[in-house]
């Protein structure tokens, strides 16, 4: 059993970016949009929130028959092993505790792709004949089959994702997806917690989307800045990880630059982000790793004992006491401000746009 199996579930999510025509990017003009959807009211976890496609890990994502499938489609074990060669910090979700299952760096990618297909009908992959040229940096959506039929069968558990790929001779595009981040639901949400691996993919054009009606209220494409603005204007509500990750992307408006960055950074690992909450007189403060207020040697299970230690201070007063900032100050459901004075971990993008270290990549 995995170390924290009784405390939270594992999941994977996918940031899908698609080029928006042939427009040239500039500081205020994105040449891509991001695919998101609104959860339905009946969704058990975070209903009505705007999220990236993704969901819980399923046993079918890690079965060893995937290895045979990939070998049959011309992708060797050695090529898949390249996805496992990741340095830097490795969150718990990537730990392999069962030799009879796929490496987590492979199976979590399968989870993210399967969920994107189940929820939005987007199957990212390529035909067997295209395997040799599959590592282009960009992924693409596969069509030419009864998507709605297969989407329903896979979603309802009538067919496994590997069966779809085997029958249609489609290779899920693991090679053009990039490890982006890892998040853990705060300990205050005791009954519904997820550790989630986030991956990023980019496409040269927007694929056709078919929303699964039980999980998806609506889907849409928008730029990172457009989504953040809609959140501030209370037209939608972004879940905290989505809000944070879009604040990273908002500083990189060119999709080709995003792909180049993601490809080079992906093997540098991810630092687990598990927010810890404090209460101020005028705001709720969520601190992230590296912040002066982040607990040392945090066990990720117990709620932080100093929750009300700073309740008589304003958020600004508390902020001025810190030298190292990595936090989010919430003054309302749609009013939050991210602060980051430390360099982003693992060569990543900073939410405040201070990314001078990128020239070192």
- Are 45 and 101 in a shared domain? yes
Last residue of a domain, one of 228, 250, 272: 272
Q: What is the pLDDT of residues 216-266, one digit of tens each?
A: 999 999 999 999 999 999 999 999 999 999 999 999 999 999 999 999 999
Q: Which CATH number do you get for residue 69? A: 3.90.79.10
Contact 14, 201 (CB under 8 A): yes
Q: What is the pLDDT of residues 77-86, one digit of tens each?
A: 888 888 999 9
- Are 23 and 154 in a shared domain? yes
Residue 62 lies in a domain: yes
252: nearest Cα among 344, 140, 122: 344
Residue 35 lies in a domain: yes
- Are 227 and 298 in a shared domain? no
Last residue of a domain, one of 206, 240, 272: 272
- Are 105 and 203 in a shared domain? yes
Question: Which range of residues forms the domain containing residue 298?
Answer: 275-358
Give 257's contacts (C-beta < 8 A, 6+ positions apart): 25
Residue 3 lies in a domain: no
- Are 144 and 253 in a shared domain? yes
Q: Which two tokens stand for residue 332?
A: 């309302």
Residue 149 lies in a domain: yes
User: Given this model, what pLDDT does residue 359 score?
Assistant: 52
- Are 79 and 158 in a shared domain? yes
Using CB atoms within 10 A of its CB, is residue 78 exposed (0-12), middle (13-18) or buried (19+)?
exposed
Last residue of a domain, one of 247, 272, 297: 272
User: Given this model, what pLDDT does residue 99 score?
Assistant: 86
User: Given this model, what pLDDT does residue 181 score?
Assistant: 98
- Are 201 and 326 in a shared domain? no
Crossing angle of helices 224-232 and 240-249, in 10° steps, is 130
Residue 25 lies in a domain: yes
- Are 112 and 258 in a shared domain? yes
The tally of domains found in the chain comes to 2
- Are 173 and 282 in a shared domain? no
- Number of CB atoms found within 10 A of residue 324's CB: 13
Contact 232, 6 (CB under 8 A): no
The sign one gets for the Cα dihedral 196, 174, 61, 49 is positive
Could you tell me where the beta strands, DSSP code E, fall in 223-321?
A: 272-273, 276-279, 284-287
User: Given this model, what pLDDT does residue 131 score?
Assistant: 58
The sign one gets for the Cα dihedral 331, 334, 339, 340 is positive
- Are 102 and 248 in a shared domain? yes
Give the integer Cα–Cα distance in Å for 37 and 47. 11
Give the integer Cα–Cα distance in Å for 250 and 247. 5
- What is the pTM assigned to this prediction? 0.94
- Are 78 and 115 in a shared domain? yes
H or E element that contains 261: helix 255-265
- Are 162 and 244 in a shared domain? yes
Residue 1 lies in a domain: no
Residue 53 lies in a domain: yes
Those residues of the chain that have pLDDT short of 70 are 1-2, 22, 27, 41-47, 129-135, 305, 356-361
């Amino acid at each position: 059993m995995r170390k924290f199996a009784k405390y939270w579930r594992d999941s994977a999510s996918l940031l899908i970016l698609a080029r928006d025509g042939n427009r040239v990017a500039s500081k205020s003009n994105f040449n891509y949009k991001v695919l998101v959807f609104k959860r339905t009211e009946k969704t058990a976890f975070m209903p009505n929130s705007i999220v990236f496609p993704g969901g819980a890990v399923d046993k079918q994502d890690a079965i060893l028959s995937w290895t045979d499938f990939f070998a049959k489609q011309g992708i060797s074990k050695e090529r898949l092993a390249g996805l496992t060669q990741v340095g830097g910090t490795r969150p718990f979700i990537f730990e392999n505790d069962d030799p009879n299952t796929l490496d987590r760096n492979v199976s979590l990618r399968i989870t993210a792709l399967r969920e994107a297909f189940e929820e939005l009908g987007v199957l990212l992959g390529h035909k067997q004949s295209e395997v040799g040229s599959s590592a282009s940096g960009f992924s693409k959506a596969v069509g030419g089959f009864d998507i709605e039929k297969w989407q329903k069968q896979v979603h309802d558990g009538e067919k496994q994702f590997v069966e779809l790929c085997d029958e249609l001779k489609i290779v899920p595009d693991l090679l053009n997806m990039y490890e982006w981040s890892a998040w853990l639901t705060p300990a205050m949400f005791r009954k519904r917690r997820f550790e989630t691996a986030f991956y990023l993919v980019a496409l040269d054009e927007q694929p056709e989307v078919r929303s699964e009606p039980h999980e998806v209220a609506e889907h849409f494409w928008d730029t990172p800045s457009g989504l953040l603005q809609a959140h501030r204007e209370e037209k939608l509500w972004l879940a905290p990880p989505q809000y944070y990750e879009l604040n990273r992307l908002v500083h990189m408006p060119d999709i080709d630059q995003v792909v180049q960055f993601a490809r080079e950074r992906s093997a540098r690992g991810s630092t687990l982000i598990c927010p810890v909450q404090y209460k101020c007189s005028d705001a709720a403060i969520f601190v992230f790793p590296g912040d002066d207020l982040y607990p040392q040697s945090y066990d990720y299970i117990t709620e932080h004992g100093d929750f009300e230690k700073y309740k008589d201070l304003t958020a600004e007063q508390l902020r001025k006491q810190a030298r190292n900032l990595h936090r989010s100050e919430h003054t309302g459901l749609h009013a939050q401000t991210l602060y980051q004075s430390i360099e982003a971990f693992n060569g990543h993008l900073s939410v405040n746009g201070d990314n001078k270290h990128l020239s070192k990549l």
